[in-house]
Amino acid sequence: MSRHSLCIVLLTIAAASGRGLFVSDAVAAPTVISCRPCPLAANVILMIGLPSSDHRASKMTQLWMERHSLMAQQRQREGTGETIPVITSYPADIDDFRQQVQRIADQCMRVASLGIMSHGNLGYLQIGSDGVSVRNIDDAFGHGLGCVMSPRAFVEIGGCNVGRGCRGSNFMLAAASRLLQGGGRIVAPESYVYGNAFLGIAPRSILGDRVLELDAAASGPRWIRGGEPGFECSVQTQESRGNRGSGNAVRPAH
């Protein structure tokens, strides 16, 4: 990935081009993730970073994951009074990510907070060398992965513009319907992400994040922060292209 396509502004706030950012989102059919019964399943925080040989990019990723791990711990302590382990991973691709999640499930652990720091664009992010959009979102987050997520889990994405516009809202709805089957929240930036490696400033969205909340007992999702999806997104039924018939239709925006 070239220096110019890195969508984390290291020194100054700048208008970044998406040129050269996208990689292939065609991946091999993933293995279905299974979760055996675990009456005493332990909660964990899972932080996913993008592998990089660039020192500044690695530092920015580290700063983001440290900040959001602390925020996740604070939410956990406020909710349950407990401090839980943090697992940090830099998967090579989607398959590697899913294998690591399966190992978490095999150890009777459940993910209370999932953080993903990555390159991003409208309704798109990277996991290792693979791109994830609504076209292949089942390959990344479907096929059983939702069983590893705790009820009322928290999903945070740190890639530029992932939650922006109609494509961003569709992506968040699609991800939430697969990951948050027990309810919870998903957060994604509505703009470019800014940070400073030299000053130790963790990356954050310049204009704020979009937040979608799902209540397992409610009739549908609710946008609680950021821009409401525009008119072009307010259809009664939205289904992620390429996943029709999967049983994981994207929930409509309300």
Q: Is the model more confident about 58 or about 30?
A: 58
Alpha-carbon distance 57 to 8, whole Å?
Answer: 8
Give the span between the Cα atoms of 144 and 247, in whole angstroms. Answer: 11
Judge whether 10 lies within some domain.
Answer: no
Domain count, the chain: 1
Q: Is residue 248 one of the residues assigned to a domain?
A: no
In the structure, what pLDDT confidence band is assigned to residue 246 with cuts at 50, 70 and 90? Answer: very low
Residue 120 within any structural domain of the chain: yes
CATH classification at residue 128: 3.40.50
In a domain, 23, yes or no: no
- Residue 145: strand, helix, or coil: helix
- Residue 6 forms part of a structural domain: no
Between CA 24 and CA 100 the distance in angstroms is 21
21 pLDDT band, cuts 50/70/90, is low
- The predicted model gives 212-232 an average pLDDT of 80
Query: Which structural domain, as residue segments, surrounds residue 210?
Result: 38-233
Q: Is 8 domain-assigned?
A: no
Asked if the structure places residue 74 within a domain, the reply is yes
Q: Which two three-digit tokens encode residue 190?
A: 């509505």
Q: What is the mean pLDDT of the chain?
A: 83
Phi-psi region of 13 (alpha: psi -120 to 50; beta: other; left: phi over 0): beta
Q: What is the share, in percent, of the chain residues with pLDDT greater than 70?
A: 78
Residue 157 DSSP SS3: strand
Give yes or no for a contact between 161 and 119, defined as CB atoms under 8 angstroms apart: no
Q: Is residue 247, in this structure, part of any structural domain at all?
A: no
- Report how far Cα 232 is from the mean position of its chain's Cα atoms: 24
What's residue 228's pLDDT? 74
